[in-house]
């Protein structure tokens, strides 16, 4: 399998993701420019990654303009045919704006950019990430100003019922509560997947926790899930 990382104008975690996948996980990585529109070299075994950053300067809304780039049209098509897609931070915002994932990421409730390690846990094994992470509590950094996940009540009910929540913010003991929530996200949601379980979005950055040089490799479990 191989990974494709899309580079938008304003992406700033694309190289971090490349190093994590290529150097730490020893995977094949292809960098893709947002103006290109050829994903024919990718199959269902592969994974397209939308990295973090500030695509198109976060103009209008985070991820709103990236959603209409030529490459995103191909990614939407790829995902609709069962291809695996992972969006991290701004990538998660783009996936929500594109309709591949439900809901939206709003400005943090405390009005501040938050940049720190947080703990997250998976609560089900009904998707490839949950299967790889099992019951482990992972320490992964977040870095965002707009990470407050929001969806209406009906959508939330559906997400919970279908086991589409892949991560919730928790404390170091795995307890999910108000104080372990870094941005005010509804139900402490840190990441979700679609109904088809092939599109994943999360605010924490696994690529920033994949190198032993950084003394934290918890993120590897998340990225490795796509290589199995």
Indicate which residues carry an active-site annotation. Answer: 89, 205, 207
Nearer to another protein, 107 or 216 (CB): 107
What secondary structure letter does DSSP report for 53? B
CA 119 – CA 169 distance, rounded (Å): 6
Phi, psi for residue 85 in degrees, rounded to 5 = -135, 135
- Report in angstroms how near the CB of residue 61 gets to another protein at its nearest: 6
Starting at the earlier edge strand, list the strands of the sheet with 189-193. 28-33, 2-7, 47-50, 84-88, 199-202, 189-193, 165-170, 114-121, 137-144
- How near is the Cβ of 33 to another protein at its closest, in Å? 22
DSSP assigned state of 57: G
> In terms of CB distance, is 99 or 196 closer to another protein?
99
Residues binding another protein (CB under 8 A) = 60-61, 64, 68, 96-97, 103-104, 106-111, 150-152, 184
Beta-carbon contacts of 71 under 8 Å, excluding residues fewer than 6 positions away, are: 6, 32, 33, 34, 35, 36, 37, 39
* CB-CB contact of 195 with 162 (8 Å): yes
Q: Shortest gap between Cβ of 224 and another protein (angstroms)? A: 32
CB-nearer residue toward another protein: 108 or 188: 108
CA–CA gap between residue 130 and residue 118 (Å, rounded): 18
Dihedrals phi, psi of 121, to nearest 5 degrees: -140, 150
Beta carbon nearer to another protein, 131 or 160? 160
Please state, in angstroms and as integers, the Cα–Cα distance from residue 77 to each residue in 14, 34, 64, 99, 200, following that order.
Answer: 22, 15, 18, 12, 15
Distance in Å, CB of 111 to another protein, minimum = 4
Closest to another protein by CB, 164 or 224: 164
């Amino acid at each position: 399998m191989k990974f494709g990382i899309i580079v938008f104008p304003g992406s700033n975690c694309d190289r971090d993701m490349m190093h994590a996948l290529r150097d730490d996980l020893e995977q094949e990585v292809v960098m893709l420019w947002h103006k290109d529109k050829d994903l024919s070299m990718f199959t269902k075994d592969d994974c397209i990654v939308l990295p973090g950053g500030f695509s198109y300067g976060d103009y209008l809304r985070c991820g709103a303009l990236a959603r209409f780039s030529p490459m995103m049209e191909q990614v939407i098509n790829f995902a609709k045919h069962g291809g695996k897609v992972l969006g991290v931070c701004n990538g998660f915002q783009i996936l929500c704006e594109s309709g591949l994932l439900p809901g939206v990421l709003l400005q943090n409730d405390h009005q501040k950019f938050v940049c720190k390690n947080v703990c997250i846990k998976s609560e089900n094994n009904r998707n490839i990430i949950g299967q790889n992470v099992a019951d482990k509590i992972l320490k992964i950094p977040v870095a965002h100003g707009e990470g407050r996940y929001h969806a209406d009540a009906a959508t939330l009910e559906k997400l919970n019922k279908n086991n589409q929540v892949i991560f919730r913010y928790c404390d170091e003991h795995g307890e999910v509560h108000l104080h372990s929530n870094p941005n005010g996200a509804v139900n402490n949601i840190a990441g979700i997947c679609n109904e088809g379980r092939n599109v994943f979005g999360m605010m924490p950055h696994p690529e920033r926790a994949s190198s032993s040089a950084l003394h934290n490799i918890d993120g590897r479990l998340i990225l490795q899930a796509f290589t199995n």
